[in-house]
Structure 1
Amino acid sequence: MQIMARLCISADGYITTPDGWPPQVIDPTHGPGSHGIAEFLRTCEAALMGSTTFVPALTADRWPWPDLRVYVLGSERPAGTPDDVTFDSDPVRLLERLKADNQGGDVHLIGGPATIETYRALGVLDKFELVVLPFFVGGGMRLTDSLNPETGLEFESSRPLPGGSVEIVYRVRR
């Protein structure tokens, strides 16, 4: 099992649009499986995320994680949460539950900088992937204002994606 984070980031460094949406949703090439996500998810059996990422999915037109077990770091279980979604406010306890349930597949760590940093600081993040989008959004949430060189990111690979995006994959040194 590997825990892997994957984020899209605009060319001007934002991981959300000014109104809080992931920047890939405004890309004309966006659709199910776009931006390399279909290939990325082939090895994943679970999604681990913060509640800020999870809550908007409750009102989405389609459930974003139909084939994955979902684990949410959050203090309150929102109304309408499917029964099979695991919630816990303690990141270590949630990770232990995820590991106990794991059948050997990978875990997609979804969320913003705080959620990703929580699991990186616990030493369990194995890969960090960025998809750099070929457009600017002009505002929103930044991945980080300054990257600490001690985060242990080591370049692994890069590749162009359809529509002009570029995928960059880093291993996380422990």
Structure 2
Amino acid sequence: MRIRARMAMSVDGYVTTPTGWPAHTADPAFASGASHGIREFLQDCEQALMGRTTFEPALGHDRWPWPTLQVFVLGSHRPAGTPDHVVTDSDPARLLEKLRAANQCGDVHLVGGPRTIQTFHALGALDTLELVVVPLLFGGGMRLTPALSPTTGLVLRRQRALPGGSVEIVYACEGSRAPLPDAPPGLR
């Protein structure tokens, strides 16, 4: 099991637009149907782990965003309308224990903002930070960097060009438990 955070960001380091939407939604390539690699990413995932702020907007959608994933939510309360199969807990370490107990060896998609990512990184649970840099400059929005310590050890595992000029960059977090299977031998 690897816990993998994947998010899009603008070239100037914002993970949301100035109006609060995820960075990839502003990219014309995404709007025209390019997945930015998320479909391939989700093929290896069996669980989604997220904060309540990311989870709550999904409750109003016509279509459940994680139809094939077990969902675990970090939050101080269980939001109204939360499906029974969704696991919630206010304690990140306890939620992580529940997630690990339920995991069948698949990866975990850590969905959320910088605060959620930092919470699980601080517990030593974040294995990879996967960024999709979209070719846009926002000049405002939520930044990735304030929540991650400058001492966070990141090791480049791979990068690739995506449609429309976006770039995927995958980093292993220092001290990660599992090497990426396609990492060059010198980087494991």
* Range into which the TM-score falls when normalised by the shorter chain: over 0.9
Amino acid at match of 1:132: V
Q: Which residue of 1 aligns with 2:11?
A: 11
TM-score (norm 1): 0.94
CA deviations on 1:69-98 (whole Å, 9 max, x unpaired) are 100000111111111110000001100000
1:11 and 1:34 map into 2 onto residues whose CA distance is 18
Matched residue SS, 2:36: helix
CA deviations on 1:10-61 (whole Å, 9 max, x unpaired) are 1121101122110111222226770110111111000000011101111124
Flag structure 2 segments of 5+ consecutive residues without an equivalent: 176-188
Shift of 1:156: 1.0
Q: 1:147 to 1:94 in 2, by over 3 A?
A: closer
Amino acid at match of 2:136: F
1:87 and 1:147 map into 2 onto residues whose CA distance is 24
Matched residue SS, 2:55: helix
Amino acid at match of 2:13: G
> Is residue 137 of structure 1 aligned with residue 117 of structure 2?
no
Tell me whether 30-39 or 121-130 shows the greater mean CA deviation: 30-39
Give % identity.
Answer: 64
C-alpha RMSD of the superposition: 1.5
2:25 and 2:113 map into 1 onto residues whose CA distance is 16
2:13 and 2:139 map into 1 onto residues whose CA distance is 9
Q: 1:111 to 1:70 in 2, by over 3 A?
A: same
Amino acid at match of 1:103: Q
> Is residue 92 of structure 1 aligned with residue 89 of structure 2?
no
Shift of 1:146: 8.2
TM-score (norm 2): 0.88
Q: Which residue of 1 aligns with 2:66?
A: 65
Task: Give the aligned length.
Answer: 174
Shift of 1:151: 0.7
2:80 and 2:129 map into 1 onto residues whose CA distance is 31
